[in-house]
Amino acid sequence: MSTKPAGSPDRYGRDRENSAQSAPLSVREVEQKWDVRFPFPLAAPSAVLPAGLAENSAYLADYFPEIAVLFFETEACLAYTDEDLPAHLADLPCSWHVHMPLDLPWHAGFETAWQKIDGLLDKIAPVSPGAYVLHPPDAPDMLLPLAARLRDNGVDPALFLVENIGSCSLTPVWDEVVEGGFSACLDIGHIQAYDQRDVLRLPGLWERVRMLHVYGAERDMRHWPLRELDPVGQVLLKTMLERASNFTVTLEVFGRAELFDSLDLFGQLFARWEDEK
């Protein structure tokens, strides 16, 4: 429990406004500011500066202990060169995970989709990512063959975190997630925007959750910063942090100022909840 005296909402608000106008604070500096220690890694997405993956990663590694490599488009990411993924990324003082592409060609058949996944695994292997976030396939009966193929190639399916998304919560694919030995990623914005509270009642959910995607709201095809998280969402976030174990929190906010403002507010909220214990 934090030993910091509980502050008033007005004091918290002024501190956050001042922080937004000052130089960015690292995760460690936010912990010091709010007198807390996060019992989980905090990750930032590799798309906050108007620059490439390498430039974003080099910048973020000074502030965050983990970076989420965003592989949004399959063919574009397979075409990455040493300029996009230079060898020195492996020397940065951070750990890594990967968000797999949104457009994997599941409808072309499993073998075609697997060839793309296998190529992406090879592409990112030099940084030794600790997890791979995967949207549920948009074609049926793909998760169990994927689990089998991963095992055949020496990859534990538990390293693949199936995420709840707008078009498919985890509920329809949960039996396959469990049978295949996958883990789970919970996205708070998707739960809120698409009324997916049923996900929170899935049997054995919390022992499989390895990542939380945290931001304020999903509206207009955009992830809004954490200051947009309404009171109901704040209760949901507190519950998710309390129920999950052995997980990473990814502040899935795309924009430098909004990311660091969200990091500071996350520290404020976490400190307040620690004070309430």
- CATH no. for residue 36? 3.20.20.150
Q: Does 4 fall in a domain? A: no
DSSP letter for 130, please. Answer: S
Q: What is the pLDDT of residue 255?
A: 95
Q: What is the pLDDT of residue 23?
A: 85
Q: Does 130 fall in a domain? A: yes
Report helix, strand or coil for 41: coil
List helix spans (H) across 94-195: 110-124, 143-152, 174-180, 188-193
Beta 217-219 vs 222-224: how paired, if at all?
antiparallel
pLDDT tens string for the chain (277 positions)? 332 222 223 333 444 444 444 689 999 999 999 999 999 999 999 999 999 999 999 999 999 999 999 999 999 999 999 999 999 999 999 999 999 999 999 999 999 999 999 999 999 999 999 999 999 999 999 999 999 999 999 999 999 999 999 999 999 999 999 999 999 999 999 999 999 999 999 999 999 999 999 999 999 889 999 999 999 999 999 999 999 999 999 999 999 999 999 999 999 999 999 999 8
Q: Does 2 fall in a domain? A: no
Beta 183-187 vs 160-163: how paired, if at all?
parallel
Q: Which of 264, 272, 270 is closest to 17 using CA atoms?
A: 264
Neighbouring C-beta atoms of residue 122, cutoff 10 Å: 10
Q: What is the C-alpha separation between 112 and 126, in angstroms, rounded?
A: 24
Q: Does 144 fall in a domain? A: yes
Q: Does 27 fall in a domain? A: yes
Q: Does 161 fall in a domain? A: yes
Q: Does 182 fall in a domain? A: yes
Q: What is the C-alpha separation between 234 and 237, in angstroms, rounded?
A: 5
- Give me the number of domains the chain comprises: 1
- Domain hosting 166: range is 9-276
Q: Does 60 fall in a domain? A: yes
